Each structure stands twice: as structure tokens, then as C-alpha cells.
Amino acid sequence: MVEEQLNSAFHALADPTRRGMLASLALGEKSVGDLAAPFRMTFAGASKHVKVLENAGLIARRRVGRMQLCRIEPAPLAEAQQWLRQWERYWTENLDRLQTLVEANAEKER
């Protein structure tokens, strides 16, 4: 189940438009129309992106009258960040080793 959620989150985040929409929602709740505006897309086009984000659990939608308001759901992002941390450690350790080798070579050349 966690694997499926992670796959859905990364699939949703793979699209730059959806990442932009999430960045906008990080500033607060927005309507689907507000999310569409910076991308110059139709309401229907924006709705498709919102649906992918919603299916991944990254956002929640609610109706207020005729308007659909979206808000960010942080839990799946936290799970994705936790998964990415293992790679952060991997790269940090490898880059630290590389830095040590470069500094050792520079010292030898002096």
C-alpha cells in the first residue's frame, strides 16, 4: 500500500504543471480556476491535473457553492521526502569521499 502511494505521488510530481500547482497551493487554498490561470489552460485541463494530484493524495478538494477549492495534503509529500532521504545520505557520503580525494590530490600537487 505504501509502495502504491509513493508511486502515485511520484507520478503526479513528474509533471511540471502539477508541481507548479502544488507550489501555488503551498501558499494557501486555491480554486481550480486560480490553479489554471498561470498555465493559461482551460478549467477542464486544470481539472485533469487536479484529479491526478487528488488521486495521489497530494491535495484535497471541497465545494463552496459552484467553486471547487483545493488544499495541499502534506502527508504523502512527507512520505516521499522520507524515501528520498536515503538517496540524500548516499550522495552526501559519496560527494564527501570525492571531496577528500580531490583535496588529497591537490595537496600532493603542491
According to the model, what pLDDT value does residue 107 have?
A: 87
Return d(Cα 87, Cα 40) in angstroms, integer: 35
How confident is the model at residue 20, as a pLDDT? 97
Class in CATH terms, 2-109: mainly alpha
What is the reported pLDDT for 109? 85
Q: Which residues pair with 61 in a beta bridge?
A: 70
Instruction: For the chain, list residues with pLDDT below 70.
Output: 1
Domain map (residue ranges) of the chain = 2-109
Q: Tell me, what's the pLDDT at 1?
A: 55
pLDDT at 65 (0 to 100): 93
**For 85-106, what is each residue's pLDDT tens digit?**
888 888 999 999 999 999 999 8
Whole-model pTM: value is: 0.78
Residues near 76 by beta carbon (within 8 Å), at least 6 away in sequence: 5, 8, 9, 56, 57, 58
